[in-house]
Structure 1
Amino acid sequence: MIFSLEQAPPGLPEVAELQALQQAGLAVAPTLVLVGLEAEFYQLGNLPEQIKRAFAGVFGARLDEEKLERACAFAEKLLRESYLLPERSDELRLALPEGPVLVRYAGEAPFGLEVGPQETLWALKRLWASRWQLDAVLSRQPELAPPEVASLVQSVGPTLILDEVLSARAGEVLGRAAAVWASEGRVVRIA
């Protein structure tokens, strides 16, 4: 569920690359890898059934755009207003690093920069709700359920820059061209 980068399960896209860079001696931002937490959030809140009902009739012989907009707005609001399991919230709060953290999906651009445990929990729910924005739903339709991707919470400084030196070093380690975004000299994101 909640892993440090070093303990994260193998085979997760981008996470494996961050692990490889760390093992090669590059400084990587302290990273929490959340696996299955989003799925648990959906299941415990009975969100899939509610979302399925909201989207009923949207994708028929033709796309009902008005229903789609209402269903997307409903799903986003539902995720933002649902609760994480209290034990999970407490576990996550205890694991969070001090200072600003970057919240994002593995393999995707940064979503939110937050300071504080409560703000980070809210940012995670906003991240998960972002999968129900109109463009996101249209990009994956006719599949309704969003893909399961690890969520990352990374300790960062005030700036995130494309670091050419770290990009070159990462390319050597990974055996492919890599663009590395860094904060305070530590790898945060690889593309």
Structure 2
Amino acid sequence: MIFPLMQAPPTGEVAQLQALERAGFRVAPTWVLVGIEVEFYQLGNLAEQIRRAFQGVFGARLDEERLEQACAFAERLLRESYLLPERAEAIRKALPEALLLVRYAGEPPFGLEAGSQAALWALKRLWASRWQVDAVLAREPQLAPPEAPTLVQQVGPELTLDAGLAEEAARVLGRPVRLWSSGGWVVRVGWV
């Protein structure tokens, strides 16, 4: 589902951003996508295809050549698969025609795109990035990527670490944080 920030399930960074907005901070317009990536995998039977591609990669010894082939296959599979047309249209309608930052909640920015259509393409690239060799090795022996909300945020062209806002946010959130802003709007927050 696609939620405006304040209507999204309050977990992790989403809950932190919601708390800051309730406290009066200017938080960048944010849309939270929950369950859409899971639906994307299910409808395309992607998990099973990826599982088969990775058979024999991890065993007594890591088969590096097969790992690279399986990762390339998984990335290509995600980039070339389709969202449900009605889901793609709903996302496109929800997002403004503006500069949009696409990322996972709790993770660094992934893509900065101009407009809703470009943001849709960035979503698939973001999801495919979970299958890069380094990402797969970092979560091994778990093959499936962790489930995390996807955030799409309207931002300006620059994202900066903002120590002043971080200090104010730490008082609201009750512990030290790092905070990134764009034009005075809170974009990203994380625990120190």
| TM-score with structure 2 setting the length | 0.98
Alignment of 1:7-156 (within 5 A): 7-10=7-10, 12-156=11-155
The unaligned stretches of length 5 or more in structure 1 are: none
Q: CA deviation at 1:9?
A: 1.0
The unaligned stretches of length 5 or more in structure 2 are: none
> How many aligned residue pairs are there?
190
Q: Who is 2:3 aligned against?
A: 3
Deviations 1:125-168 (A, max 9, x none): 00000000000000111110000000000000111111122111
The one-letter code matched in structure 2 to 1:9 is P
The one-letter code matched in structure 1 to 2:187 is V
Structure 1 ranges of 4+ moved more than 6 A: none
The one-letter code matched in structure 2 to 1:30 is P
The alignment's C-alpha RMSD in Å is: 0.6
Q: Secondary structure at the match of 1:14?
A: helix
Deviations 1:103-144 (A, max 9, x none): 000000000000022111110000000000000000111110
Distance 2:171 2:97 in 1: 32
Q: CA deviation at 1:98?
A: 2.7
Distance 1:71 1:94 in 2: 35
Deviations 1:156-188 (A, max 9, x none): 011111112211110100011111100111000
| TM-score with structure 1 setting the length | 0.98
Contact 2:96 2:115 in 1 (8 A): no
Distance 1:143 1:108 in 2: 19
